[in-house]
Amino acid sequence: MLIRRLAAEERLTTSFPLQAYAFEATPLSRERVDAFHRYLPYNKGNRTLVVEEGGEARATASAVPMRQNLRGAVLPMAGVAGIATHPLARRQGYVRALLCQLLDEMRDGGHPVTALYPFRASFYERFGYVGLPRARTVRFSPADLAPLLRAELPGTVGWERIGVGYPHYRSFTERCLRERHGFAIFPDFRDVGLRDRDDRWLITATVDGSVVGALTYRIDDHGGELVGDDLLAADPYARALLLQFLARHVDQVERISLRVPADDLPELWLTDLAVHVEARVSRPGSPAPMARLLSVDALAGLPAGPGRVRVDLVEDRWLAGTHLLDGVDGRLALAPGGGPAVTAGGPVPTATLTAAGLSALAYGVLDPAEVHIRGLGDVGPEAAGELRRLFPRALPYLFADF
């Protein structure tokens, strides 16, 4: 078995066909094969590995060099995607070998966190990944937005094709990256595909010359559906400006759909808004994202409460050893080796955590008791209390779909 990195042009005859078989309708049409050539430039900065035996590609995996906000710190993130195996080579350990090498290379290249959309969550949990919330799909009638048409709101709304307005959109997602926990965005070479396809409308909410909200969308037909992507808004006024624009489509479309983060509550947007909110997770086809830490150093300096705990990290290739986590002056400090067992404040409680357990706490998706219940660590009551103070519950919003 040989694992090697592909040159960009090699993907046309190696990784792309395997990925297409795994994730698309096949056999591929001639038009779809030709589209691979147009898609190639948007993959130029990816790290793509392939397993070969006898000169034939047996499995492939890619990592997109992205950025993600972890509790306020913007970190390099490896977005793992396109994991696919030849149908005659499945369940032979190829993906395990590929993923280990890919994450080794991305961690060594300075990516302390990683995320993916799994084909099976339990498989990736064994690699230290933990589930993140899935964005909600919201559906409602534009008629129910009528009260917003009478509202006087600060700011203005702009409307244009995404091909024209892309710089404003990209700039606002950069702002979201800085401000929103869990938010991740593509590198420039990948993200410009949205501009080049130019198959979306873009509305932006602007206040005092700054973009504070954005939504890309398309309309499937007259009397049909306005299909929105992620509703991005810095505050309720920005969201109301965007919804006010959508309300003007009452005589054009029957319904509107869009995506919102898990911590948004569309049922409270307006009185008498009849809304369907859904987060559908299925296998295969509609997975919730997962993420993990690849380096304990990712935690250094993060906002933290006044807690102190020793953690023994076990059963992982990338996270190991004993570390003292201390919320000093509101920032997390790390002491490799675990530090003293007793401090001026008394004995320091200890928790044993897997990589998935520590990642769940860092991303804020599980309570320490849930980590224990799920078998992701051994966390006693005293250690659980300290970990709750160090890592308050938070709902990450991944945003990027890859």
C-alpha to C-alpha distance for 282 and 259, rounded to whole angstroms: 17
- CATH number for the domain harbouring residue 338: 3.30.1050.10
The dihedral through the CA atoms of 387, 393, 399, 402 has a sign that is positive
Q: Is 249 domain-assigned?
A: yes
Contact 121, 131 (CB under 8 A): yes
Say whether both 71 and 191 belong to one domain.
no
Q: State pLDDT tens for residues 141-183.
A: 999 999 999 999 999 999 999 999 999 999 999 999 999 999 9
- Same domain, yes or no, for 242 and 147? yes
Tell me the per-residue pLDDT of 266-318, one tens digit each, with 9 for 90 and over: 999 999 999 999 999 998 888 999 999 999 999 999 999 999 999 999 999 99
Grade residue 328 by pLDDT with cuts at 50, 70 and 90: confident
Q: Which of 116, 147, 177 is the last residue of a domain?
A: 116
- Report the pLDDT value the prediction gives residue 337, as an integer from 0 to 100: 86
| pLDDT at residue 283 in the model | 87
How do beta strands 136-140 and 255-260 pair?
antiparallel
Residues 92 and 23 grouped into a single domain: yes
What is the reported pLDDT for 1? 84
Task: Kindly state whether residue 108 falls inside one of the protein's structural domains.
Answer: yes
Shared-domain flag, residues 240 and 154 = yes
Residues 175 and 93 occupy one common structural domain: no
| Within a domain: 400 | no
Residues 145 and 105 in one domain: no
- State whether 96 and 191 are in the same domain: no
Which range of residues forms the domain containing residue 331? 295-390
How many structural domains does the chain have?
A: 3
Cα separation, 5 vs 49, in Å, equals 4
Which residue(s) pair with 75 in the sheet?
Answer: 68
Alpha-carbon distances of 121 from 6, 130, 193, 200, 283, rounded to whole Å = 27, 8, 28, 31, 9
Domain boundary pick from 212, 247, 278: 278
pLDDT of 341 > 70? The answer is no
Q: Are residues 208 and 101 in the same domain?
A: no
**Segment (H or E) for 210:** strand 210-219
CA–CA gap between residue 8 and residue 47 (Å, rounded)? 9
CATH number at residue 222: 3.40.630.30
Q: What is the mean pLDDT of the chain?
A: 96
Does any domain span residue 130?
A: no
Give the confidence band of 343 by pLDDT, cuts at 50, 70, 90: low
My answer on whether 158 and 237 are in the same domain is yes
Does residue 93 belong to any structural domain of this protein? yes
Query: Do 230 and 341 share a domain, yes or no?
Result: no
